[in-house]
Structures are given as C-alpha cells and as structure tokens.
Amino acid sequence: MTALEQKSYRSAEHRVEWLVSAEPVPYAEAILAMDRRVAAIADGAAQGCVWLLEHPAIYTAGTSADEAELLAPARFPVFRSGRGGRFTYHGPRQRVAYVMLDLSRRGRDVRAFVASLEDWLIAALAHLGVKGERHPGQIGIVVAGAKIASVGVRVRRWISLHGVSLNVDPDLEHFSGIVPCGLADTKVTSLAALGATTDMGEVDRALRAAFAKVFAEEAVSANDPLRSP
C-alpha cells in the first residue's frame, strides 16, 4: 500500500490532481517524489498536482536559513531544503500542501504565484471561520499577529515545488527549537489554539474549495503518479 490515497475532483476547464497521504510521509521521501513529479510535468508526461500530507517531526532549512536561528539542533532531524525561506518546523497535525504547477501557464511570475498561495490560505481559513491576513514585509499568513501558515517554494524549469503549511493542531512547543521563518518577535498559533476545527478532512475540504476559487482549477484522479518510477 502506498502512502498516497487519491481523492479526485473534476473541472471542465483545468485538470490538476489532488493527492492525500493517509500516513505521515518522511520528508526526504517526499522530496524525491516531488522531484519525479516535477520532471514529468516539465516533460509533458503528467498534470499539475497538489499533494496534501503530514510529515514526522522535522526542522527544514530554506535557502535563506541562518544557522543562528536553529536553537535546538538535536531535538529533531534537520533537512537542508531547496525551497525558499528560512527555518520551519513540520510535524504531525500540521497540513502540508505541496503545489506542483506549470508556471509557464501563469506568466512565469513567481511573486504573483506566492501571492496566490497566500490568497489561497486566507480563503481556506475564511471557510473555517478564521480571519487570516498578510503581515507587511513577511511571507505567510497570520491571525491576530500570530503566524498560522507558512509559504516556501522553489521553481525548476518553471514548475513549482514545495508549497504551504497550515498549523491545524501541531505541538506548538516544537517551534521553540527554531526561530520560525526568522521571525523572533512573532508568535506561532494553530486552528486548535484559536478554537477552530481540527478535523483534517474539513481542513482539506476548505483547501480544495479555496483553491478552486483562487486558481480556477480542480482535480482528477490518477494512479499513484508521485510513486511511479
């Protein structure tokens, strides 16, 4: 049995696959899967994809990471990622959404793509009764000044990798081992801390509904494309 449990939704205009992993996926394994999928999209052999998953507890370093911001290097594994951004935490009860789309069809504008990812998160939070907003000079989404969602992307052959993470009900103390996203004075929060839903299925439905509005795309089924050789 693979780690990916596909659920499909059809759009008349655009076709993007949504994949949902039922079990936590090791971070390094997810990177390899994304690499395969992005190569296939670039070669015209696969559709764009949104992959919803959780990771076992890990700290990841983006291309702008400052080693001084890794406060507890022995607490969890540390992975040097190729995404943009600084240090972040991934772990159980945090919804990670990897977005692999052909940006050649979106004007090859990375900043606009990142802004669209933020719009997506804000819209999804609104579905859940939470008011998310941007913070001037920062990437990601805050609620009442506390960060609830992060954005970190990479682009290869104009195909996007990585994506966003939304704190549903993770152990927020785990963020204390880093300076999250380099924001020493910004607290971290979650849907649970805000008294909102922690049902992952409901969160996923909000993400899908918001994605359809922001990107005008929905999903179709596939036979385990991320796991294919």
Q: How many domains does the chain have?
A: 1
8 A C-beta contact, residue 224 and residue 4: yes
Read off the pLDDT of residues 167-206 as tens digits, 9 standing for 90 and up: 999 999 999 988 877 666 779 999 999 999 999 999 999 9
What does pLDDT average to over the chain?
A: 86
Backbone angles phi, psi at 228, to 5 degrees: -70, 150
Q: Is residue 228 part of a domain?
A: no
- Give the CATH number of the domain where residue 59 resides: 3.30.930.10
Q: Is residue 200 part of a domain?
A: yes
Q: What is the pLDDT of residue 171?
A: 96
Diameter over CA atoms, the chain: 49
**Would the pTM count as exceeding 0.85?**
yes
Q: What is the pLDDT of residue 179?
A: 80
Range of the domain at 172: 4-223
Catalytic, 181? Answer: yes
Q: Is residue 12 part of a domain?
A: yes
Q: Is residue 212 part of a domain?
A: yes
- Give me the amino acid identity at 75: R
Q: Is residue 120 part of a domain?
A: yes
Q: Is residue 229 part of a domain?
A: no
Q: pLDDT band for 134, please (50, 70, 90 cuts).
A: very high
Q: pLDDT band for 81, please (50, 70, 90 cuts).
A: confident
- What average pLDDT does this structure show over 215-220? 64
Read off the pLDDT of residues 148-157 as tens digits, 9 standing for 90 and up: 999 999 999 9
Give the closest residue to 147 by CA, choosing from 130, 129, 128, 167: 167
Give the closest residue to 53 by CA, choosing from 1, 88, 5: 5
Q: What is the pLDDT of residue 217?
A: 66
Q: Is residue 89 part of a domain?
A: yes
Q: What is the pLDDT of residue 228?
A: 37
Give the closest residue to 173 by CA, choosing from 191, 187, 160, 156: 187
Of the two residues 222 and 191, the one the predictor is more confident about is 191
Catalytic residue among 181, 194, 206, 219: 181
Of the two residues 184 and 60, the one the predictor is more confident about is 60
Q: Is residue 63 part of a domain?
A: yes
Sign of CA dihedral 63, 68, 72, 73: positive
